[in-house]
Amino acid sequence: MEITSFEQFELNRQLLNAVAELGYTEPTPIQQQTIPLSLGNHDVLGIAQTGTGKTAAYLLPLLMKIKYAQGLAPRALILAPTRELVMQINEAVSELGKYTGLRHLALYGGLGPKTQIETLRKGVDLLVATPGRFMDLYRLGEIVTKDIRTLVLDEADKMMDMGFMPQIRSILEIIPTKRQNLLFSATFGGRVERLSAEFLEAPVKVEVTPQASTAEMVSQVIYEVPNFRTKINLLDYLISKDAFQRVIIFARTKTTAENIYKFLARKVVETDKIRVIHANKGQNTRINAMDAFKEGNVQVLVATDVAARGIDVAEVSHVINFDLPLIYEDYVHRIGRTGRANHAGAAITFLTMAEDYHVQKIERIIRMTIPREPLPTNVEVTETPFDEQQAMLREIDEQRRKDNPEFLGAFHEKKAKNLPPGKARSIAKAKEAGAKKPLSRTSGAHSGGASHKIGGAKRSGSRGGRR
């Protein structure tokens, strides 16, 4: 049966009213598939990214099940990797559960536990928590787990990336075994599969769209850039354009995020139009920054991957990857911030020669090749400082070694020349046996070889047989 309205699910009036008030007219594909299964008490493994409506897909049946306020101990637990996501899910509970009278509470770190404990003591029906804070409060004896009948793991892949497995295992040990489990993940790979085997019982897998779907919806482009300084110049050029109205700039590290922020706030964007969020920023600063960005008062949000997790903002005009995430699935999460809810989005990636390795892995995940465009002519290309150049070459050696442990590296070639003849010969021999073609050091735009010329349509030969 085709489901075209929420009325077709056996949800109660309180929930249907809330759904109508939120303006949801038609269930999204993940909701169409998950809601009946979940209402039927099945364990569900949902492969869905943010933006698909996955939160309501698990919340509606869950709220239906716990129905009304009862007793003191929670009857459902939702675990999510970050406080931002926990807060966002909790907000969705407030909205969807508006007419149910259910008591719910968000548990996350970064703030003292006092208020959370006080609320727990008054009685709650549903908890939304990060695994760490949940365990902390459990150990303090503040959480009674015996009535938990439903467990949701949201963004399970991210929780594993962030090293939450030990806490999740502890939680599984302290909650009743007879329960319904729902596991949601943006990506599906070996680890998520193993986790679901460990923790779900005869689950039904629902996968709304192949992983590449967000990637297909968003227009993506790569600019090959020789160095950090030129990345900054390119950023300056792009952000100054009118179309860049609501932009998230992603950076791998806190330091880079801070540097980008400082540069833009000094030169390009009015200070009240730009914010930066990362793990070192206080909870309130992060919340304020996200609210201001959501409300449209802020043009540019600079963020690290963890800090940006779960940001739900409609109409992000551009996502800029100042660098590439080392957890490749994060690329999908990053670009998923734009192109949401049928808005066309654009994702722009800045790529140095040392990042080419990562982009190849990402392209395999999203099952497409990201087009490359020449740098706009007005962007100043600066010369790569010696240290930065060396660091990139070292990184490339590392990458080659990862793929081929025998590889001794172009970077080491020079050093070998200064070694005693016997040693140099043995290195040369090993190279002959196992190494790939050494890196060319001719000066291209990347100062790293002809295959990286800016704007050139040329792609490195090694990319050919990848797919």
**Footprint on this chain of ligand AMP (rule: CB under 6 A):** 24, 26-28, 31, 50-56, 312
Are 323 and 329 in contact, with CB atoms under 8 Å apart? no
**DSSP run (H or E) holding 57:** helix 54-66
Per the document, the length of the chain is: 467
Helix, strand, or coil (residue 415) = helix
Are 355 and 398 in contact, with CB atoms under 8 Å apart? no
Q: How far is the CB of 58 from ligand AMP (least distance, A)?
A: 9
Q: How far is the CB of 257 from ligand AMP (least distance, A)?
A: 23
Q: How far is the CB of 214 from ligand AMP (least distance, A)?
A: 11
Give whichever of 46 and 444 is closer to ligand AMP, judged by the CB atom.
Answer: 46
Give whichever of 340 and 372 is closer to ligand AMP, judged by the CB atom.
Answer: 340
Q: How far is the CB of 25 from ligand AMP (least distance, A)?
A: 7
Q: How far is the CB of 16 from ligand AMP (least distance, A)?
A: 12
* Among candidate residues 73, 57, 79, 48, the one with its CA nearest the CA of residue 9: 57
Give whichever of 83 and 431 is closer to ligand AMP, judged by the CB atom.
Answer: 83
Q: How far is the CB of 88 from ligand AMP (least distance, A)?
A: 7
Q: How far is Cα 378 from Cα 391, in angstroms, rounded to an integer?
A: 27
User: Residue 359 has which token pair?
Assistant: 């982009």
Give whichever of 50 and 180 is closer to ligand AMP, judged by the CB atom.
Answer: 50
Give whichever of 50 and 338 is closer to ligand AMP, judged by the CB atom.
Answer: 50
Q: What is the dihedral of CA 118, 121, 122, 123, to 10 degrees?
A: 130
Q: How far is Cα 325 from Cα 328, in angstroms, rounded to an integer?
A: 6
Chain centroid, CA 237 distance in Å: 26
Are 333 and 186 in contact, with CB atoms under 8 Å apart? yes
Are 449 and 437 in contact, with CB atoms under 8 Å apart? no
* Among candidate residues 58, 28, 56, 63, the one with its CA nearest the CA of residue 42: 58
Q: How far is the CB of 312 from ligand AMP (least distance, A)?
A: 5
Give whichever of 53 and 345 is closer to ligand AMP, judged by the CB atom.
Answer: 53
Counting runs of H as helices and runs of E as strands, what totals does the chain give? Answer: 19, 14
Q: How far is the CB of 24 from ligand AMP (least distance, A)?
A: 4
Give whichever of 48 and 143 is closer to ligand AMP, judged by the CB atom.
Answer: 48
- On the 0-12 / 13-18 / 19+ scale of CB atoms within 10 A, 308 is buried
Q: How far is the CB of 132 from ligand AMP (least distance, A)?
A: 22
Q: How far is Cα 201 from Cα 197, in angstroms, rounded to an integer?
A: 8
Give whichever of 120 and 186 is closer to ligand AMP, judged by the CB atom.
Answer: 186
Give whichever of 8 and 443 is closer to ligand AMP, judged by the CB atom.
Answer: 8
Helix, strand, or coil (residue 23) = coil
The type of residue at 285 is T
Q: How far is Cα 96 from Cα 63, in angstroms, rounded to an integer?
A: 8
